[in-house]
Structure 1
């Protein structure tokens, strides 16, 4: 690795700058990696391009990466089958038949958003499409539905133990550890970072609070009051983004809720068992002096009763476990649909391919993010930044969560992508935190990981150029600008409280057991004060809109 000095910042800076300027994350990530290729090739455009392509190939053929890519495609296929079967809509219909009030519809939307935890794209599609008829009937504004949809997409997927996000998140954490030559289980670090993801946790809680209480503030108060009192779920002159089912087509009308429930339960159960199995097998392999469970002569004949569930999870091969779970989900969904003649083999194949197509963009970003990370490692970006940060002699370690949270928020909001932000900021955050802890993996490292992830999710959640923000407007049938302007006050409220909690962390309050409950108290207080203030300003007592009851 050559010493490029300050020039080592070029790959990530080019990627971030182009993403902000062009709003094209694929172009930006490739350009950043290509600059790295030029640098290590002596600025020769021909050899620099071939070097970049070699990095791309290496990213795809890496064993871990390949498993994650296949997992994503299988998840897309499984979700496609479930959606096409009509199972999602059937489940929503069963739940919606008992919903007679605006409160019930809002809370049901929140609940569905939490239950559809395995992918943010799928969340926006399912929640928006299934809840829109219910919320329209109960006079819940389209702005509120889009907010519910958006705030239970990226925040939920980023916290879920099983999702299309977790493999990528683990890879970015692992890249950070590898960059400083430290061996540590990425899944263990990921799990330990969850309680420090204050923005994601509090954002989900705030949705429930406003959905249940009907107390609002900011432009959302106007939107909800309009819908409840006039029945206009859209404001006059609004231009809603049209919903589309171009990729998968309309779902079957005779779907059963079990077509949704059984495959999803299969995914969860098999993945959890896979995490336990591979973790326990790894522990056994280590006891035998082997590096990995696949080196065992008979890995499926080993007894794992001596290894606890938690210990096994810490040593699990998450990519393999998720691969098993997603494949079994596709298999079960296929048997249910083709075996019951709800789909022909031709329809099944078409749906599987179209479902995989849904994941093409996400996997493209994934490969290019890995490639950019390789480029940054090759030119010494992490080493340069770490040396620069530590040369001041100041101990910034306790402040790294706050610093990375604010930086990730800015980058993600301006670029509109959390995954692109992950690729640059997470490995850097891990390496900086480790530099200040002397290589010790402790709560500073975990908090920095959590803060960086959740800061990036802020941008994915509410940036007007974010794909999930746009999709939330689309599938909820909301005017996009109306969705953004009504959601941002809530997002900023949660982000401000998150910043306060990381500030307290820097001042010495290191336990999430103290910080997270304090954050919930601050959230409730802020929501109460703001709804009271806006209620007085707009002449709506306490900022509370009436509950609408459907007349039979």
Structure 2
């Protein structure tokens, strides 16, 4: 079908419904149905078949089916021997493994013991928040891994200090993608560098290699730096604005870490009875095993898949992130299981704890399935292509970084995928720079990266946002709405900085402008946040 402005209808409808109804699955479902109907000229049977095909494709790799029918898709799944679509399957499997591991850590008393230890050593709410941010900065290998691990590790500490779950989700989310996108040794860095290499080769740019270009672009990735700087300031100065202030005041005054009117947290593990003899090691060792094993298998799978020269960049370019997460999850779960067997609990049975761990991740899995489905619908409608087509060669080079930041932001916001935005807009930005002003290539590519992270932070259908909510134990829509004001502040600073970059071509002036605006924003936010009790 022709790519038009109408391709924006399903994602915008879903996003508006999420905000108005606060019911994520209903909203995403509506966007899916409307999008499928638009793809098939409002033929309900064909739309249903399309949705069935997408859902089956998330689970199974069944190849091409012509003509597309429910019977044909089902037969193809059988004929292909129920071959699994490994990426999505492994992500779901990792979630289930992590849920079971977290349940066993709770049962063993590790979470309780860590909370008690943390209260003695991390004595303030500020300290608990800053520690969470630093954990997020340190675990930069992969955003999925970051979101789930940091949230689960920090939760006992932040709970004891009456830090709302929405605040924890923001602290986690604002250090996940922003750190991954500026780290060359990460799954993100390897992916981006691969795209950059193709762009440079296409346009005959030889003055720097892809890795060197990525390193040069790091200070130009303004939104990532501002997001990290802002979340540090929010943690240090307790800057609470908008609905975040409501969540934090309620947590301080009543001890309610989530909005009681929104119902219980989907997948909460409150039914598990903790072992009173548990130690901090019951939490630390499964996490250490998870982290160490995941990194080990990322390196190992990268080495196995690398052909030619074996370099760190080549290893991370070829690593199998999803499989590595599963292997790491298995190691972490086995360690947690051994610790539980060493200290038998008189409370919740081992089997029940494992089942509750699985149940705790089901809400996140449901949302991911709906998000993956609407992302596929949006891709078929050409939403990203339409947004990319808005940028043409008649625009002054001064405004190109700023405009690309906005386009990438809205594309990632609408489609829920920063990686998809990278693959679509980075080549377009490279082509525009080659035609208009080759010296603007790296600033324009950096603006695309930054805009994609901004859109990812704002989108309720972003998988990183979903997993940050899950890791923190927050209502998903509460996380989206409380993070939004901070993301918009970082975006406003980035827009002005990119205007300076386009106007002057000076990276130094761009970063200096961003830093100055960040300081001014922090001062203003401190005044706005007065009245909230400080830890």
TM-score by length of 2: 0.68
Greater CA deviation, 497-506 or 364-373?
A: 497-506
Counterparts of residues 464-503 of structure 1 (less than 5 Å): 493-503=489-499
Alpha-carbon distance in structure 2 between the residues aligned to 1:383 and 1:489: 28
Instruction: Look up the match of 2:119.
Output: 96
Instruction: Look up the match of 1:527.
Output: 522
Alpha-carbon distance in structure 2 between the residues aligned to 1:428 and 1:438: 15
Instruction: Look up the match of 2:405.
Output: 402
Instruction: Look up the match of 1:300.
Output: none
Alpha-carbon distance in structure 1 between the residues aligned to 2:389 and 2:448: 18
Please say if 1:260 is aligned against 2:283. yes
Instruction: Look up the match of 2:314.
Output: 311
Instruction: Render the CA deviation track for 1:510-532: whole Å, top value 9, x for unaligned.
Output: 85x8856764454335434664x
Structure 1 contact 91–256 (Cα < 8 Å) conserved: yes
1:74 to 78, 97, 115: 97
Instruction: Look up the match of 1:130.
Output: 157
Structure 1 contact 425–452 (Cα < 8 Å) conserved: yes
Instruction: Look up the match of 2:80.
Output: none
Change (3 A) 1:386 1:490: closer
Counterparts of residues 309-458 of structure 1 (less than 5 Å): 309-338=312-341, 340-343=342-345, 347-390=349-392, 397-404=400-407, 407=410, 421=414, 423=416, 427-428=420-421, 430-438=423-431, 444-458=444-458
Structure 1 contact 113–149 (Cα < 8 Å) conserved: no
Structure 1 contact 501–515 (Cα < 8 Å) conserved: yes
1:271 to 279, 294, 306: 294
Instruction: Look up the match of 1:109.
Output: 129
* Secondary structure at 1:342 match in 2: coil
Structure 2 contact 408–421 (Cα < 8 Å) conserved: no
Greater CA deviation, 522-531 or 73-82?
A: 522-531
* Secondary structure at 2:349 match in 1: helix
Instruction: Render the CA deviation track for 1:89-129: whole Å, top value 9, x for unaligned.
Output: 312322322455xxx44213320454376465776676455
Alpha-carbon distance in structure 1 between the residues aligned to 2:350 and 2:216: 40
Structure 1 contact 173–427 (Cα < 8 Å) conserved: no
Instruction: Render the CA deviation track for 1:359-415: whole Å, top value 9, x for unaligned.
Output: 222222322232223223333333344334337566665234531476479x6xxxx
- Number of matched residues? 471
Alpha-carbon distance in structure 2 between the residues aligned to 1:70 and 1:470: 15
Where does the alignment leave 5 or more consecutive residues of structure 1 unmatched? 136-141, 288-305, 412-420, 536-542
Alpha-carbon distance in structure 2 between the residues aligned to 1:150 and 1:193: 28
Structure 2 contact 102–152 (Cα < 8 Å) conserved: no
Change (3 A) 1:346 1:191: farther
Change (3 A) 1:500 1:92: farther
Where does the alignment leave 5 or more consecutive residues of structure 2 unmatched? 61-84, 140-144, 203-210, 435-440
Change (3 A) 1:212 1:386: closer
Structure 1 contact 198–451 (Cα < 8 Å) conserved: no
Structure 2 contact 387–407 (Cα < 8 Å) conserved: no
Instruction: Please tell me the root mean square deviation across aligned C-alpha atoms, in Å.
Output: 5.3
Instruction: Render the CA deviation track for 1:287-336: whole Å, top value 9, x for unaligned.
Output: 4xxxxxxxxxxxxxxxxxx6222331122221222222122211222122
Alpha-carbon distance in structure 2 between the residues aligned to 1:191 and 1:370: 32
Q: CA deviation at 1:274?
A: 1.7
Change (3 A) 1:14 1:256: same
Alpha-carbon distance in structure 1 between the residues aligned to 2:505 and 2:285: 43
Query: Larger relative contact order (C-alpha < 8 A, sep ≥ 6)?
Result: 1
Instruction: Look up the match of 2:69.
Output: none
Change (3 A) 1:205 1:355: farther
Change (3 A) 1:313 1:124: closer
Structure 2 contact 295–324 (Cα < 8 Å) conserved: yes
Greater CA deviation, 76-85 or 385-394?
A: 385-394
* Secondary structure at 1:263 match in 2: helix
Greater CA deviation, 498-507 or 54-63?
A: 498-507
Change (3 A) 1:263 1:159: farther
